[in-house]
A = this chain, B = another copy of it.
Amino acid sequence: MPFDPKSTTFEPLNEPTGSWPVAKVTLPIPMGEVAARTAEDIAAARAAADFDPVRIEDTLRDARIDNASRKSVMTILSKDPIFGNWKKRMIHMNREQQMRQSHFACRRLLELGEKHEWTTHEIIEAALTLDLQSPITIHWVAFVPVIFGQGSAEQIEKWGQKAMNHEILGCYMQTELGHGTNVQQLETTCTYDEASDSFILHSPTLTSTKWWAGGLGTTATHGVVQAQLIIKGKRYGPHLFFTQLRDMDSGKLLDGLVAGDIGPKTYGAFGGLDNGWARFNQFKIPRDHMLSKHASVKKGGEYVKPPSDKLSYGGMIFIRSQMIDRTGWMLSRGVTIATRYAWVRRQFRDPSSKDINDVERSVLSYPSTARRVLPLLAKAYAYILAGRRMRTLYEDMAQQLEEGNTELLADVHVASSSLKAYCTKQALDGIEECRQALGGHGFSAYAGFTSVFPEQAPAVTYEGDNIVLASQVGRAMLKISGELESNPSTKVAATSGFLKAISQKNAIPFTQPKQASDWYNPQVYSAALGLRAAQLVVDLRAEIKSGRPFVDLSYECIEVAKSHAEFVVDLWFGEGIRDDAERLGEKECQWLNKLVTLHALTALSRNITPLVLPASEGRSLAGYATNQAILTPDSVILLEKAIRELVKEILPQVIGLSDGFGWLDWELGSSLGRKDGRVYEQLMADAEANPLNHEGAVPALESIDKVGVYKYGSSNIGKGVPDWYSTEIGPLLKAAAKRSNL
């Protein structure tokens, strides 16, 4: 930066987009050394990268669409008059305004898609990147896949094509006011009426009201309803039914049903999605509206069973298996912001400094910050790469299922449950941890977390509550370990391979570390992760043997599932890098592999107790004696040392590594996460543009409705006084003064 910070005057950074003018600064002010240094600091860190972040980005971002297409979509959005300042505007809107904008955005997205000839995947990518759970997003995520996954060939032809074209917009109605997790107990009924050869959908009670379905509130023209199938008085359990909901022209709800929006979501999340409720009152639909890929009802009421109970099960784990890498990406946003800002933020000189003119230390250079943030960097990469493996495995399984083969089903079910429960929770906690690592400025909405943490918040409870999923993992571990005990040659998936250590000596060879660097050996840390998971299953089995029923062990299952997930993530993270090694490049793999190590070591450190606690009677792994611990105390001290030194080694590469996620400034929407490090200039520009600082600038609804622009940037910025001062504050002071003079 070839300028003198003392004489260079601060210029605001906001770029004009659409009708959003540049903010102007009233009082000229020198930048000063502190603000000027941030750009230099981050440029130096970037120059110090030992590898090419773009190679990582290109490899990882090659998903639904390739990275070049992604960047082209983002560039169009970032220059669009509506979407250019979208992320800054959304945090200034209330729910009703966000919902309006969301409808408007859906149209605008499709207009852009048409104009630029985007594929469906490009449209979805564009929708996701807006931080907007919108009717369009949910249509693609929750409605279209159900039609295609559960509909018959004729049904797919009839409705699927219309859905793909956006001629109809759909929602998926499963959960009810009274029941979510327990699907079998849903109260909505769908009764076959022989006289008219049709079905009658009905909501018999208040708690049978369908609840939460995205898009249902104000938008969906059609929907799929899960309801108890009843034929001639006999119950056949929950089945899926397709139905129209609204008149295509007027948007009015059809007679025989009531529906609406359920209200705002916690922390302001999902403001652009109309999660809705609906009740049916003896609502008639044609017989052929039951989705009948697997089961169907014939004229007259004969029920045709699905060939296998397991076949319709694939859909339930589809979404979970798609969630893993998404949680990694969400976490990577927090991590990118945290590493960049904590790198350029300096606070306190080093205690060894005696000169007041010495520059202060980077906040990220303090071990208390680095040790918190770098493992989160590792986790973000871990979930992205393990998530890619999860998707591949799901696809393999889906293909098998098509052929009637259920071999992979159990493994994919357990792995997707385990990773969904673990990764969503770790990502949510990790995002907020990143925000906290920013210190005071992390509390500003301009830090960019308002569209990350709240959006991630429901992931821990939807698509299978994490705690319920943990019990399912625990149950599977008991089952497989039991099978291994009775037959040591039972074939188990790699993700459960560690269970062999329970009954087979040396199933997991482990060498006690003699020095810190021994912990960097994958055979050491992966073994330790496996032994810990196995030990926790042994403990669970011991509790069962002591007579406690499984339903009372749901708390213990949480830790079993966590340790299982950490074993699997470690396995797949490493494999994911190997799979893409050529494309990534040697140096790139080398640094990513250090993150594999960091992920594994900090996962061990998270709960080391099972490895250091001498085994009680009946609780030792095969080959270990009662009263023997798996790890020595010195190994634990060496583990912490190994983590410390690894964090230190990775620290200079951290800007390059977070660049590797490939987030554009526009996508992050974070003033603290700016790629060029100019955080203070951006915060000031944001504050100057804040509508509260402009007389009469609080917008009427009409003005933001279409163009979505706040009237910022007038020349009296910073001098403005809100027009309500005269109506509220002034009179208050005068009344007080009057009182005190009485």
Contact = CB atoms under 8 A, between A and B. Distances in A.
A552 interface: yes
Contacts of A32: 178, 187, 204-208
Contact of A351 (B168, B266, B550): B550
Contacts of A206: 10, 29-32, 34-35, 680-681, 684
Contact of A92 (B27, B264, B627): B264
Interface stretch (A51-59, A190-198, A290-298, A608-616): A608-616
A50 to B, nearest CB: 24
Interface string A14-30: 00000000000011011
A367 B683 contact: no
Interface in A689-742: 690-693, 698, 700-701, 717-722, 724-726, 728-733, 735-737, 739-740
B207 A35 contact: yes
Nearest to A440: B180
A536 to B, nearest CB: 12
Interface string A248-261: 11111100001111
A735 B110 CA distance: 10
8 contacts: A180-B347, A182-B348, A221-B733, A262-B444, A263-B686, A269-B443, A277-B687, A613-B636
Interface string A610-626: 00111110000000000
| Integer count of this chain's copies in the complex | 2
Nearest to A435: B266
B616 A633 contact: yes
B350 A251 contact: no
Those 5 A-B pairs whose CB atoms lie nearest each other, nearest first? A32-B205, A251-B725, A368-B554, A260-B693, A94-B94
A218 B694 CA distance: 10
A187 B360 CA distance: 14
B94 A97 contact: yes
Interface stretch (A149-157, A451-459, A493-501): A451-459
Contacts of A523: none
Interface centre among A204, A266, A612 (most CB of B within 10 A): A266
Interface stretch (A75-83, A315-323, A461-469, A511-519): A461-469
A378 interface: no
Interface in A296-321: none
Contacts of A394: none
B442 A266 contact: yes
Contacts of A686: 262-263
A686 B614 CA distance: 55
Contact of A608 (B250, B347, B609): B609
